Amino acid sequence: MLYENERVIGIRTGDKGIDADGSKKSNFEPGIDLHAKVAVFGEGSRGSLTKTLIKKFKLDEGKNPQGYVVGVKEVWEVPEGRIRPGDVIHTMGYPLKSNTYGGGFIYGMKDNKLSIGLLTGLEYADPFMDPHREFQRLKQHPYIAGLLKDGKMIQYGAKTAPVGGYFPCPNSLFPEDFS
Ligand SMILES: Cc1cc2nc3c(=O)[nH]c(=O)nc-3n(C[C@H](O)[C@H](O)[C@H](O)COP(=O)(O)OP(=O)(O)OC[C@H]3O[C@@H](n4cnc5c(N)ncnc54)[C@H](O)[C@@H]3O)c2cc1C
């Protein structure tokens, strides 16, 4: 982040072309400074720059603490007729215990594809709980196992997401005086 008189005036990009030891490679390119009247930070869940800004400008003052989930998701190609594009199935409970926040989703897509995933609240009490393993258990539910039978997993991924809703949202404008 680049500051001038306690205002964010832009960002400096990272250096490119550095090897694992930190030495410059032949394609080394130093980071550049990008100045802007307004800088918009869209780093996703708990971004590293956003975290610094929230602290520096006290953007979370009077706000609720944020809550997070980790979402584990796969895209499957399934035999014809299993699900229609646009079909939406949401699940509660199994495989998560009643003291764990979260739930599952299955979305029908075109070309006999579906997207399936499980979101698990990261404040779970059991240190042995593994959201990735819980997702594998979700797929073993008889209804879901039937949907996926003889199908093929074609993509997978996992990502965190904030789930606290409106009240933990940090103030998004700063400093308050734009003059
Ligand atoms: C499994 C799962 C299922 C979901 N399903 C739905 C759904 O059905 N409907 C729905 O509305 N929402 C859904 N969501 C939530 C939705 O994905 C997020 O709300 C949305 O992606 C947030 O968008 P974003 O642009 O704020 O952040 P992101 O999509 O996280 O994008 C942030 C980007 O910034 C990059 N970045 C971070 N820091 C830096 C940096 N310092 N410099 C440069 N780049 C940086 C990251 O690499 C990333 O590419 C789901 C989330 C998950 C995890």
Give tens-digit pLDDT for 41-90. 999 998 999 999 999 999 999 999 999 999 999 999 999 999 999 999 99
What predicted TM-score, i.e. pTM, was given to this entire model? 0.85
Best of 52, 107, 159 to mutate for ligand 1, by most ligand atoms within 8 A of CB?
Answer: 159
Position in ligand 1 atom list of the atom nearest CA 107: 8
Position in ligand 1 atom list of the atom nearest CA 157: 1
- Domain borders along the chain are 2-63, 67-163
Average pLDDT, the chain: 94
In CATH, 67-163 is 3.40.50.300: no
| Cα–Cα distance measured from residue 135 to residue 47, given in angstroms and rounded to the nearest whole number | 25
Instruction: Using alpha carbons, list the distances in angstroms from residue 63 to 42, 60, 89, 166.
Output: 19, 5, 33, 9
